[in-house]
Chain A
Amino acid sequence: MNKFESVRQTGQGKQIGRRQPRVEDDALLQGRGRYADDLAVAPGTLHAAVLRSPHAHARLVDLDASPALAMPGVHAVLTGEDIQRWARPFPVGVRQPMEHWCLAVDKVRYVGEPVAVVMAESRYLAEDALEAIRVEYEILPVAVDTETAIAEEAPLLHEAVGSNVVSERHFRYGDPERAFAEAEHRVSLKVRVPRSSCTPMECYVVLAEYDPASASYDVLSNFQGPYALHSVMARALNVPGNRLRLRTPPDAGGSFGIKQGVFPYVVMMGLAARKAGAPVKWVEDRLEHLQGASSATNRVTEIEAAVTGDGRVTAMRWDQVDDCGAYLRAPEPATFYRMHGNLTGAYAIEHLQVRNRVALTNKTPTGLNRGFGGPQIYFALERLMQRIAVELELDPLEVIRRNLVPSGSFPYRAAAGALLDSGDYPASVEQGVRDGGLDELLARRENARREGRLYGIGYTVAVEPSISNMGYITTAMTPEERRKAGPKNGAVSTATISVGPLGDISAHVSSTPQGQGHRTVVAQVIAEVLGVSLESISVNVELDTGKDAWSIASGNYSSRFSGAVAGAVYQAAVKVRDRLAGIAAAQWQVEAARIRFAEGQVRVEGGELTMPFGRLAGATHWAPGTLPDWEPGGLRETAFWSPPQLEAPDDDDRINSSLCYGFIFDYCGVEIDRITGRVTLDRYVTLHDAGRLLNPDLVDGQVRGAFAQGLGAALMEEFAYGDDGSFQSGTFADYLVPTSVEVPEPLILHRETPSPFTPLGAKGVGEGNNMSTPVCIANAVADALGIADIELPLTPSKVRALIGIDEPPCPQGVGEDQAAPAAGGGSRLTASDSVTLPGSPRVVFDTLLDPETLQAIIPGCHALELTGENAYRADVTVGVGMIRARFDARVALSDLDPPHSLRLSGSGTSAMGSADGSARIRLTEIEDGYTRLDYDYDASVGGKVASVGGRMLQSASRMIIGQIFSRLSLRMGGTAPRLSLWQRFKTLFGRLGGRS
């Protein structure tokens, strides 16, 4: 019997398992949440802004912060030199000679890499000052594409490693060679999973102070854990753990794993506060977040199955390459190993061969993202199962059924070591088929196809791991390396319950929730065990490493709350209950086993004796002298809980990477618009067996949220990079996430097979659909189109290409605004135009050569200094869309042929990217003393500026260059220039289109 059952039998309320509205909501709905940016700051707090690299790969030649320091309100600038003096590189999970510091020290290795931090009296002033820092870069060749980066001749990110592959491990379980030799069929597939992020609505926030007297850092941040990273931060700051006090705010605006990635900024802002000698606050903005915060790991997988004639898989080979970006940032390479034990998914496949390689490329470092590791393995595994069905001409659901872990075989040890704790996979599938209406969906497909529509059905089964084994990451090391380093395993969760003098109950958990409603469930569990009302319990979820109970597994990740944390809460509540039962039993001279707690009262089962809970508990404070001898008085209990099933990897590299494994069966019907390529979900069914459900409303909320994110990953979301490593998804207008019109309501089905390994029988349920939904939709699209090669996201244009529709040529007069890709990977812009100016060609020519004129006619020119004959250095601010950058530019006038022609050329660099180009200018005299100035220019831009897209760049460059000549005209004759026919045309159409 599960321990939980014994609680139930005592009949103490029915809180666990109730659809209980959340205790969090009253405050949040009134705008009374207290998120990190809402909290009061100490007087004198400075605001930080981060200077970031515009280049994907470059050597840092020189950095001059003095112009920034000279600006009003600027107090200090933190640079790579400071951090080398005070800090250390972050510890890394593999043994390789590579260093990752919180600011770039020798090279920059991705666009958006922090280079310096400005501390000023306001964020506005700090951002102003960023533009004044002069950084000289020597641009290096890039390694952006994963497969290109692991080739021999690729440019190296970390020269000392000698390769961009920083970890390679081979695994073998069972006898895969033999199984493949004996196989009737082999089915193989190569897939790529792109980069994406669940993008919490609140970005990173850090408030840091440094106390020189105790040489300690006090930091508040919306960090989500895991708290193993506290050790990483303390080591990087070069202090013992107790000299880094890390605190979290009462509320957090979502995380989904992503806020694990704030940890380098905790270190950076701690050092910034030290440099400034004042508290420092930093709030990341959305542009920074998308570009440089974190990302799910993109992966390339080649997978092969040995298959019998009836579709039974006997062995699999996995060859995987994870692209972790420019640095292997803790806990990477965990994307591989979080799922390693359950690589065989929900299937009974005995023989397994695996090669895992970790590649570094000139992209943002990766980290936790909801589903962590799951989308990557299930996309390969479940696409493969669909391909087996197609190639063997079997029903895909039948192939799934034939391979499931059989009923009655739990706990089941999977090939790579996962101990699948409980479930009934075949029965769950049949429940899903029945209750989700699969027959009707199949009929809908038949009808649709009869009418010539593109309709497909996709299936997915998955196990959803929860409560990570803190030792799984050591699977990245060889058994010998592990022996040397000592074993790592387990996952300690903590909960503290105290009862005050008035019988009021306070609880604390170190789960740092990010919006899931942990406070509600903690209160439910305590209310049930102690027989008190939900309202009488106050739950605090702020974590303060300086005084709270916590351990390295603390935090909000691996769906560990319901299984592990709520379990620890239950155990702490039982400790409190047992102490109180002992006190009551002694007082009433009855057996403690007969004491019951319900409705705020304590009573003896089958007897008359009763007492209010508050009075009994209050006695531990007010009258400790009346307690039995063994009672110390006071009432506060902390439970630490770590499951014994989470063992370290064994010498054969078998690892039970998680404690619990929920089961998921999804299927969906999609229809594809033949003309637009748009994929529409007709129905989505998702069945979950997540063990005992503690609050079904919150469970459904998790499923819906994960489903919406899975849908986004399937159809919309991708962090795209240019060939030069420029980041192209820098705003929410470029990185599209689903809105209410794209997300349909899924049909959610439940089954409850309690886990034998958690105190309450609950398992995690927060991440499943991030793992199952992308591939389920991909399988449906594959079914609709009858194709094997599917790459996410399935955007309309990609689907049109899959259907075989070529984009028609642009209609005449439309689309010539598109910028062509430049050789370096940025955007190339060309155009020609003419303008009529008052004055003779000679006057125009001489005016152009006058430095004062030049400064006046270049839009946004702050200063122009002569550096040689007809050569200038200019300080120019240019705005394109919402990107505004200050360029350090060289401007030259050459090929002088007075008064007929000349060339105006320029090149510049800025924090937002680089630009260079030249314009050929020809002057022709026309009537009335006017001159026609013809120009054609050719320019290219790279870096962040290029990410706004060719259309906007073309019109912006046209406008800026148009401004140059209109200013020239105004300067010469005091009148606006006569517009060319084309310009008049553009102006007219711009107005008609509603743009001024």
Chain B
Amino acid sequence: MHAKADQRIRVTLTLNGRERSGYAEPRTQLCDFLRHELGATGTHVGCEHGVCGACTVRVDGRASRSCLMLAVQAEGRRLDTVESLAGEEGLSDLQQAFRRHHALQCGFCTAGILMSCEEFLSRVADPSEALVRDMLSGHLCRCTGYTGMVQAVLEVARSRRLATGPDSQQENNDV
């Protein structure tokens, strides 16, 4: 499909389980589309050059920088953002652990970090601290010094393992 630079195109995607659509120019960044067209302002923009990780969302399950994707590239795909994490019963286990371990201060980087952590925990059931730190190193946080996040992720991994039992543990500690 060819479109002119200033032509607005309808983009339809699944955002946090609901079909949503809006208009974007070919050059509109996905993060701008999510925030200003769909109103999902929980995802933040920290650098727009793919380093800080604040804008991380999950695209078809995979943690991705929404500042390095165009809105039109998200057509027809499943997007999950920080707004998807809490349920009817309140904060998710990971969100609660972040609160307990004082893993956030200003909270600006937190949305992206939670999305990376969720993807990581879905792949790695029994991570070492070094592995958690390696995963978190794709994000910048200037408030916390990262300690609380590391503790929170390790604790959630532990409690999810206990909840699912040893049989269902995944065997990919060396991702």
Q: Which residues of A contact B (CB under 8 A)?
A: 21-22, 24-26, 28-33, 35, 37-38, 72, 124, 198-203, 251-254, 256, 285-287, 514-517, 697-698, 700-701, 704-705, 707-709, 731-733, 737, 739-741, 743, 745, 882
Q: Is the CB of B143 within 8 A of A705?
A: yes
- In the assembled complex, the Cα of A732 lies from the Cα of B51 at a distance in Å of 6
Q: Is the CB of A701 within 8 A of B142?
A: no
Contacts A201-B109, A732-B51; A30 near B83 (Cβ below 8 A):
yes
* One of B35-43, B69-77, B119-127, B164-172 at the interface: B35-43
- In the assembled complex, the Cα of A515 lies from the Cα of B135 at a distance in Å of 24
CB nearest neighbor in A for B113:
A740
Contact of B98 among A29, A741, A743 (CB under 8 A): A29
Residues on the B chain within 8 Å of A743, using CB: 145-147
- In the assembled complex, the Cα of A32 lies from the Cα of B107 at a distance in Å of 10
Residues on the B chain within 8 Å of A733, using CB: 49, 51
Q: Is the CB of A253 within 8 A of B51?
A: no
- In the assembled complex, the Cα of A705 lies from the Cα of B139 at a distance in Å of 15
Q: Is the CB of B145 within 8 A of A200?
A: no
Residues on the B chain within 8 Å of A252, using CB: 106
B111 CB within 8 Å of chain A: yes
Contacts A286-B46, A704-B147; A254 near B104 (Cβ below 8 A):
no
B67-114 with Cβ < 8 A to chain A: 81-83, 85-86, 91, 95, 98-100, 102, 104-111, 114
Residues on the B chain within 8 Å of A700, using CB: 102
Residues on the B chain within 8 Å of A124, using CB: 25, 27-28
- In the assembled complex, the Cα of A731 lies from the Cα of B140 at a distance in Å of 13
B62 CB within 8 Å of chain A: no
- In the assembled complex, the Cα of A484 lies from the Cα of B111 at a distance in Å of 53
Contacts A515-B105, A701-B102, A709-B142; A31 near B95 (Cβ below 8 A):
no
Residues on the B chain within 8 Å of A287, using CB: 49
Residues on the A chain within 8 Å of B141, using CB: 201
Residues on the B chain within 8 Å of A21, using CB: 99-100, 102
Contacts A254-B105, A743-B145; A201 near B52 (Cβ below 8 A):
yes
Residues on the B chain within 8 Å of A33, using CB: 42, 107-108
CB nearest neighbor in B for A251:
B107
Q: Is the CB of A285 within 8 A of B107?
A: no
Q: Is the CB of B25 within 8 A of A201?
A: no
Q: Is the CB of B48 within 8 A of A740?
A: no
Q: Is the CB of A701 within 8 A of B137?
A: no
Contact sample, A vs B, 9 pairs, CB 8 Å cutoff: A28-B107, A30-B82, A35-B44, A38-B35, A201-B44, A202-B106, A515-B104, A739-B139, A740-B150
Given A733-B51, A740-B136, A740-B137, 15 other A-B residues pairs in contact with their CB atoms under 8 A? A22-B102, A29-B91, A29-B114, A30-B82, A30-B95, A31-B111, A32-B42, A38-B41, A199-B142, A201-B46, A201-B142, A251-B106, A731-B49, A740-B146, A745-B147
- If over half of A's interface residues share one DSSP class (helix, strand or loop), that class is named, otherwise mixed; here it is loop
Q: Is the CB of A701 within 8 A of B105?
A: yes
Q: Is the CB of B139 within 8 A of A253?
A: no
A613 to chain B, nearest CB (A): 27
B9-53 with Cβ < 8 A to chain A: 25, 27-28, 35, 40-49, 51-52
Contacts A701-B105, A740-B149; A28 near B142 (Cβ below 8 A):
no
Q: Is the CB of A30 within 8 A of B91?
A: yes
CB nearest neighbor in B for A25:
B99
- In the assembled complex, the Cα of A32 lies from the Cα of B81 at a distance in Å of 12
Q: Is the CB of B110 within 8 A of A29?
A: yes
B134 CB within 8 Å of chain A: yes
CB nearest neighbor in A for B98:
A29
Q: Is the CB of B144 within 8 A of A705?
A: yes
Q: Is the CB of B48 within 8 A of A285?
A: yes
Residues on the A chain within 8 Å of B142, using CB: 198-201, 254, 256, 705, 708-709, 737
- In the assembled complex, the Cα of A30 lies from the Cα of B83 at a distance in Å of 5
Contact of A705 among B85, B105, B149 (CB under 8 A): B105
- In the assembled complex, the Cα of A201 lies from the Cα of B98 at a distance in Å of 18
Q: Is the CB of A704 within 8 A of B109?
A: no
- In the assembled complex, the Cα of A739 lies from the Cα of B149 at a distance in Å of 12
- In the assembled complex, the Cα of A188 lies from the Cα of B35 at a distance in Å of 56
The 3 A-B residue pairs whose C-beta atoms are closest, nearest first, are A31-B42, A515-B106, A253-B108
Contacts A124-B27, A737-B140; A201 near B106 (Cβ below 8 A):
yes
B154 CB within 8 Å of chain A: no
Residues on the B chain within 8 Å of A24, using CB: 107
Contact of B49 among A514, A701, A741, A882 (CB under 8 A): A882
